[in-house]
Amino acid sequence: MRAPRRSVLAGFLSLLGEVLITVGLVLGLFVAYSLWWTNVLADRQAATRGDEIRRQWQAPAPDRPAEPGALDTGDGVGFLHVPAMKNGEVLVKAGTAPDVLDDGVAGYYTEPVKSALPWDATGNFALAAHRDGHGAKFHNIDKVRTGDAIVFETRDTWYVYKAFAELSQTSKYNVDVINPVPRESGRTAPGRFITLTTCTPVYTSKYRYIVWGELVRTEKVDAQRTPPAELR
């Protein structure tokens, strides 16, 4: 009479094993989608929009804004280059909501603190991007060191910043890090700053990782769009 019981138990364990394998496969596919396929889709989208921006820059003067970024229609205001992150060029648009950042771009803050733009006389050009999935443009933010170049490219100007401080972990509610004068960086007077923000630890959104830079010079874009020395 014991054999049937063992048979029922064996059947149950076999069914449980199949269920666990199926759940594991589903979770594996979800992780692959979240961390790989969303990157593929976002990179394609960002590349397409980036190409559109560059075509607009080449358009005759009457067909484009008089100043870079004067009209932010959602297409983007320029490209961020951070060699230490090894992430290529990153299109920058207005806003930091998921529907913006999920397209594989960086966004400048419009709230709760309004970001300055690079061509403003003073202020903090504060940016956010994903660290994993959806292009993961700031995945390697922890590779940026003091003195590393952070370059922003517009139609007619290269803005060259140098990183000078970082904060490896802070509350996601800490908006002081993107203030016009980011005092947590050690600066106490107005200047022309850039701030990069993203989630940390990797694959979570519990805290924020911050890198600050300060403008050291600008260069006019020549006909060949020769990049500044920091990008060669």
For the cut 80, the answer to whether the pLDDT of residue 114 exceeds it is: yes
The domain 50-231: what is its CATH number?
2.40.260.10
For the cut 50, the answer to whether the pLDDT of residue 207 exceeds it is: yes
Which uninterrupted H or E stretch holds 219?
Answer: strand 207-220
Mean pLDDT across 131-158: 96
> Is 136 exposed, middle or buried (CB count within 10 Å of its CB: 0-12, 13-18, 19+)?
buried
What pLDDT score was predicted for residue 159? 98
Catalytic one among 81, 130, 134, 139?
A: 130
Mean pLDDT across 147-158: 96
Where are the alpha helices (H) located in 63-133, listed in sequence order? 98-101
Higher pLDDT, 16 or 114: 114
Mean pLDDT across 49-53: 90
- List, in sequence order, every residue forming a beta bridge with 114; answer none if it has no partner: none
Binned at pLDDT 50, 70 and 90, residue 28 comes out as very low
Higher pLDDT, 64 or 181: 181
Mean pLDDT across 80-97: 96
Specify the amino acid at residue 156: D
For the cut 80, the answer to whether the pLDDT of residue 194 exceeds it is: yes
Binned at pLDDT 50, 70 and 90, residue 76 comes out as confident
**DSSP class per residue in 130-185:** -SSSTT-TTTTGGG--TT-EEEEE-SSEEEEEEEEEEEEEEETT-GGGGSSS-GGG
Question: What 3-state class would DSSP assign to 56?
Answer: helix
CA atoms of 78 and 31, how far apart (whole Å): 31
What pLDDT score was predicted for residue 11? 62
134 is catalytic: no
- List, in sequence order, every residue forming a beta bridge with 128; answer none if it has no partner: 107, 197
Mean pLDDT across 86-104: 94
CA atoms of 223 and 219, how far apart (whole Å): 13
139 is catalytic: no
Copy the structure tokens of residue 13.
Answer: 């364990």
